[in-house]
Structure 1
């Protein structure tokens, strides 16, 4: 990623949106996990946006699982936004990633949290 931040955090709909950018793999996952957990303190809801994630290996999946667990343990509802046509969504579907946590995009994820 040569200098570009892989974690972007912003607020929308009363929730924190965590956008993961680029490849999340064995080389980057520990830094991404740390950046997310240090940057986000939300308790009202968190959306992990994978629309700009280009690759997710087993270390990236473990990172995603740990982040979701931390926010859930804090009492924050969590959703993962991953476009259906993308390779990352294919990977999540292939491993049987919790379908109840998946949304097509950030607006859909926010709508699910608000319910």
Structure 2
């Protein structure tokens, strides 16, 4: 993304929403992972918003897995918002990414949080 930040963090419904923008691949995944883990202080729920993510390769999937694990280890419930018809969701479904954590949009992901 030519030096632009690929991580945007905001609050919705008492959760921290982490929006990942653009392509998360071998070139960007390490920086995205570091940015997410430094930017989010998750004491409550975390929604990883992939609605604006256009591509995930194996490095992006590993980044996602590490971020979910890190928040889970902190005791913060996590959900991943990825539209059902998108390429990113297809990839997540193909690899069998934790279906209980998936939602179609941020609002559904926030609503699925059990505080």
Q: What is the TM-score normalised by the length of structure 1?
A: 0.98
Counterpart of 2:66 in structure 1 is 66
Runs of 4 or more off by more than 3 Å in structure 1? none
How many positions carry a matched residue from both structures? 115
CA–CA separation in structure 2 for the residues paired with 1:114 and 1:19:
21
Q: Which runs of 5+ in 1 are unaligned?
A: none
SS at 2:113's partner residue?
helix
| Deviation sequence 1:88-110 (CA, Å, 0-9, x none) | 00000000110000000000000
1:14 aligns with 2:14: yes
CA–CA separation in structure 2 for the residues paired with 1:84 and 1:48:
15
CA RMSD, Structure 1 to Structure 2 (Å) = 0.8
Counterpart of 1:38 in structure 2 is 38
CA–CA separation in structure 2 for the residues paired with 1:3 and 1:70:
25
Q: Which runs of 5+ in 2 are unaligned?
A: none
Measured after TM superposition, the shift of residue 3 of structure 1 is 2.5
Counterpart of 1:28 in structure 2 is 28
